Amino acid sequence: MSENISIERADHVVTIRMSRPDKKNALTGAMYTRMTEATRSSILDDSVRAIMLAGAGGVFTSGNDLRDFGDSPPVNADSPVFQFLQTISTCPKPIVAAVSGLAIGIGTTMLLHCDLVVADPNARFSLPFINLGLVPEAGSSLILSRMLGHAKASELLLLGDVFDASSAERFGIVNKLSAPGAADVEAMAWATTLAAKAPVAMRLTKALLKSETGGLSARMAEESVHFVSQLQGPEFREALRAFMEKRAPSFG
């Protein structure tokens, strides 16, 4: 299934592209594993100075593949989804994201671990975990509270509604809105700019910027325990059935 992730190289920038447009780039375990491998090899390769995350077909990603989650749910921190999140959250090299179309669930939470995010003005974001009987991941319960305060973070995580690109920019999840259809090009321009900066200073600056993230890995571990147990429970089972039957879930 690694053909659903394409890896592109342009000078000192590696682009990791989610490429499963018929499923809105929904992410399977195999895709997370490929993305983790590509990120790790980019970290080890001195000639790579910046990483770009993007999606194919005008969509970033519709988040975790719900069927794959039902068939082979993550069971612990070694599971592909948590390995991927751990890898990008500790990546010493700059990551730029280009968001078009949809950024659902992990499609939004992975942005909290990127350094610069460019979004198409038509992009839509959501954190629908609650609607699926799940809990937030990627440390988003901590990061969003710190970024936005308790009230706004609660609104996003307890209601799970869709929000638009201008709101994402206002919240600080997105750095800038591109010209329509130009998120990839503008994100690549930023990645190329970052790749030309002094690499040691870049690594140190990123580490300094992230030094205030105390408690993040503990929170990610705590979230993953609840996430794994909710995935195996009746609430997610009902949400998955509802998704497959194209109806709203009923949690009684």
Contact between 64 and ligand COA per CB under 6 A: yes
Closer residue to ligand COA, CB minimum distance, 66 or 196: 66
Contact between 28 and ligand COA per CB under 6 A: no
Contact residue for ligand COA among 62, 87, 100, 230 (CB under 6 A)? 62
Q: Record the tokens describing residue 105, joined without a space.
A: 């669930």
Contact between 156 and ligand COA per CB under 6 A: no
Cα dist. 70→67, 88, 229, 243, 247 in Å? 5, 24, 12, 11, 17
Q: Which residues of 3-35 are buried (b: 16+ CB within 10 A; e: fewer)?
A: ebbebeeeebbbbbbbbbeeebbbbbbbbbbbb
Closer residue to ligand COA, CB minimum distance, 129 or 190: 129
Contact between 26 and ligand COA per CB under 6 A: yes
Residues in 182-241 at the binding interface with ligand COA, rule: CB under 6 A: none
Residues in 102-131 at the binding interface with ligand COA, rule: CB under 6 A: 102, 104-105, 128-129
Point out which span in 19-27, 83-91, 143-151, 214-222 binds ligand COA (CB under 6 A): 19-27
Closer residue to ligand COA, CB minimum distance, 38 or 104: 104
Binding mask 65-94 vs ligand COA (x if CB under 6 A, - otherwise)?
xxx---------------------------
Contact residue for ligand COA among 23, 146, 176, 203 (CB under 6 A)? 23
Residue of this chain nearest to ligand COA (CB atom)? 105
Contact between 55 and ligand COA per CB under 6 A: no
Closer residue to ligand COA, CB minimum distance, 36 or 62: 62
Q: Record the tokens describing residue 117, joined without a space.
A: 């995010």
Contact between 140 and ligand COA per CB under 6 A: no
Number of residues this chain uses to bind ligand COA (CB under 6 A)? 15
Contact residue for ligand COA among 63, 74, 133, 199 (CB under 6 A)? 63
**Residue ranges that bind ligand COA, judged by CB under 6 A:** 23-24, 26, 62-67, 102, 104-105, 128-129, 132
